[in-house]
């Protein structure tokens, strides 16, 4: 009897996951259509989206934003990446820059849409206080140059709590609060979740689905493989502390984005 109950619970859970996976693709498109005022009659929405993912270090793109990037690329959105440092904490900046380009290629962002800033006032260092005005002017320039209408970055807790991640959020919020952003540009922040939800991967999926979020990006087996390859390409991340902080919530399965 006990075995049947367990079997029933597992099967029910798999059905639930399958239902969410099938629904999320439609939900993501509807949410983007609403955001960009695209007629619900139109089947495509991606061509209207020019997204900019703003990160602090090489490997942030695959550890935290992989599902979002993969899904947006699948929707034919133009996805750009602005990385605000070379990730030179261990004096491996040039290697990490190359790894970032390879990782982005795996995720579907061509090198021509990847910009890495190497500025002495933006060092890869959790103890360094990054200048809000410096970041916001770099982000704004990028938005203007590439006619960006969607900016995605960390939230106020930085997902992993890294001070450089949090600084980007403050700068982007600053841009929004001072009205410097183009009117058609929307901001999304990747939601930081607690440790339990971070590392329970697909077990967290139903909770994330039913909790409020502007949109969820859930990848299937193909996207999962893609995200894993992009992480593997970041060999430096594998060799250092970052591997300890692998975040299954954002890395491989799911990103929850909230509008700001
Ligand atoms: Zn980082």
How confident is the model over 83-135, as pLDDT tens digits?
999 988 888 888 899 999 999 999 999 999 999 999 999 999 999 999 999 99
Contact 188, 214 (CB under 8 A): yes
Average pLDDT of the chain is 84
Higher pLDDT, 244 or 139: 139
Q: Residue 247: pLDDT above 60? A: no
Considering 57-71, 131-145, 183-197, 219-233, the range whose residues carry the highest mean pLDDT is: 131-145
Find the 25 Cα to ligand 1 centroid distance in Å: 28
Q: Which domains does the chain have, with CATH numbers?
A: 2-259 (3.40.50.10320)
29-33 average pLDDT score: 82
Tell how far the Cα of 219 is from the centroid of ligand 1, in angstroms. 22
Q: Which residues surround ligand 1, an ion (CB under 5 A)?
A: 56-57, 60
8 Å CB contact between 183 and 227: no
Task: Give the C-alpha separation, 217 to 253, whole Å.
Answer: 8
User: Where residue 245 falls among pLDDT bands split at 50, 70, 90?
Assistant: very low
Backbone phi, then psi, for 259, in 5-degree steps? -85, 140
The pair of structure tokens assigned to 225 is 């493989």
d(CA 115, ligand 1 centre) in Å = 15
Residues 6+ apart with CB under 8 A from 196: none
- The most confident of the ranges 89-98, 99-108, 154-163, 203-212 is 99-108
The residue among 59, 52, 131, 134 whose CA lies nearest residue 89 is 59
Between 42 and 152, the more confident residue is: 152
Mean pLDDT of 74-81: 95
Q: What spacing in Å lies between the alpha carbon of 64 and ligand 1's midpoint?
A: 9
pLDDT on residue 242: 38
């Amino acid at each position: 009897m006990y075995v049947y109950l367990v079997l029933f619970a597992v099967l029910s859970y798999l059905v639930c996951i399958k239902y969410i996976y099938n629904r999320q693709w439609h939900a993501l498109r509807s949410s983007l259509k609403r955001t960009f005022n695209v007629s619900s009659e139109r089947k495509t929405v991606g061509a209207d989206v020019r997204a900019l993912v703003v990160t602090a270090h090489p490997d942030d793109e695959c550890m935290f934003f992989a599902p979002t990037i993969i899904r947006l690329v699948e929707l034919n959105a133009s996805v750009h990446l602005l990385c605000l440092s070379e990730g030179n904490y261990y004096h491996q900046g040039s290697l990490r820059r190359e790894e970032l380009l390879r990782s982005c290629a795996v995720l579907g962002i061509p090198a021509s849409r990847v910009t890495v800033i190497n500025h002495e006032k933006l060092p890869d260092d959790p103890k360094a206080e990054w200048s809000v005005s410096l970041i916001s002017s770099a982000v704004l320039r990028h938005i203007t140059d590439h006619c960006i209408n969607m900016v995605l970055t960390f939230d106020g807790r930085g997902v992993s709590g890294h001070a450089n991640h949090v600084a980007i959020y403050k700068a982007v919020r600053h841009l929004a609060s001072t009205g410097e952003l183009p009117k058609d540009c929307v901001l999304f922040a990747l939601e930081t979740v607690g440790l339990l939800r971070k590392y329970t991967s697909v077990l967290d999926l139903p909770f994330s689905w039913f909790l409020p979020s502007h949109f969820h990006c859930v990848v299937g087996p193909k996207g999962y493989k893609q995200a894993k390859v992009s992480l593997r390409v970041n060999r430096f991340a594998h060799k250092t502390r970052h591997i300890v902080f692998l975040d299954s919530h954002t890395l491989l399965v799911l990103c929850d984005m909230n509008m700001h």
